[in-house]
Structure 1
Amino acid sequence: MRGIDIAEKLAQFDEHWSPKTVATVNDYDVRLVKVEGEFVRHQHDDTDELFLVIDGELTIRFDDGEVTLGPGELYVVPRGVYHQPVSAGETSVLLFEPSGTVNTGDSGGELNAERARI
């Protein structure tokens, strides 16, 4: 048996906004994603979404404000709340959400990523 080395997993991919599942807890995925620039504004009708910054800085914009997270900080976006993740430089983030959650929520589009496990 061996634990999951987050740095090792992050070194396995370079693309941005394409989450990779590294573990499953019941019906939830633990996903790693590298982000840079602006993601699409979207919401998830049926689930909350946890963002935990591993390195870098992530801002999550909302209709009525924003939250900025640094390494070791997390934020849970409640279900049904429109949000837009943004990062000025490359940032690594751990996501925790139901396995069937689509990264672009109700927005779809070219940044929609298929579920991938590494």
Structure 2
Amino acid sequence: MSLVDLRECAAQLPDAWRSVVLGRVGTTAVKVLRMDGRELEQEVHGTAEVLFVADGVLELDVEGEALTVGAGELCQVPAGARHAVRPGSRGTLLIVEVPEGE
């Protein structure tokens, strides 16, 4: 068993918005990334994903609905849902997903 400090791990990443896999549970990937306030273009995935804000805030649009996900909150994005990150998203984000093709 090992402990991971999500904020420390995210802070050490060389690039914001580039996730790193912390571990796997079966085929499910657990990833962390650092948000830096930038807006990201809309994307769609063939599998659902769970977005957990460890600290900071995630400003998200899911299928045209604006969501603000705060520290300690999570949002599930359904498979096939169009979603984009709005400006102002900062902090540490944990992503739980089954990568496409697995």
Same fold (TM over 0.5): yes
When residues 87 and 16 of structure 1 are mapped into structure 2, their CA distance, relative to the original with a 3 A threshold, is same
Which ranges of structure 1 fall in alignment gaps of 5 or more residues? 102-118
Post-superposition shift, 1:87? 4.2
Amino acid at match of 2:93: V
Q: How much identity, in percent, do the aligned residues show?
A: 27
The Cα offsets for residues 48-103 of structure 1, whole Å up to 9 and x where unpaired, read as 011000111111113432110110000001011100022415321000011457xx
Structure-1 separation of matches of 2:43 and 2:89? 21
> Which residue of structure 1 aligns with residue 7 of structure 2?
7
Q: Secondary structure at the match of 1:56?
A: strand
When residues 100 and 47 of structure 1 are mapped into structure 2, their CA distance, relative to the original with a 3 A threshold, is closer
> Which residue of structure 1 aligns with residue 54 of structure 2?
54
Amino acid at match of 1:42: E
> Which residue of structure 1 aligns with residue 75 of structure 2?
75
When residues 60 and 19 of structure 1 are mapped into structure 2, their CA distance, relative to the original with a 3 A threshold, is same
| RMSD of equivalent CA atoms | 1.8
The answer on whether the counterparts of 1:35 and 1:87 sit within 8 Å (CA) in structure 2 is: no
Q: Calculate the TM-score normalised by the size of structure 2.
A: 0.85
Which ranges of structure 2 fall in alignment gaps of 5 or more residues? none
Structure-1 separation of matches of 2:24 and 2:83? 24
Please identify, of 75-84 and 8-17, the stretch whose mean Cα deviation from structure 2 is larger.
Answer: 8-17
Structure number with the higher strand fraction is 2
Q: Secondary structure at the match of 1:8?
A: helix
> Which residue of structure 1 aligns with residue 64 of structure 2?
64
The answer on whether the counterparts of 1:20 and 1:32 sit within 8 Å (CA) in structure 2 is: yes
Aligned residues: 100
Structure-1 separation of matches of 2:92 and 2:6? 10
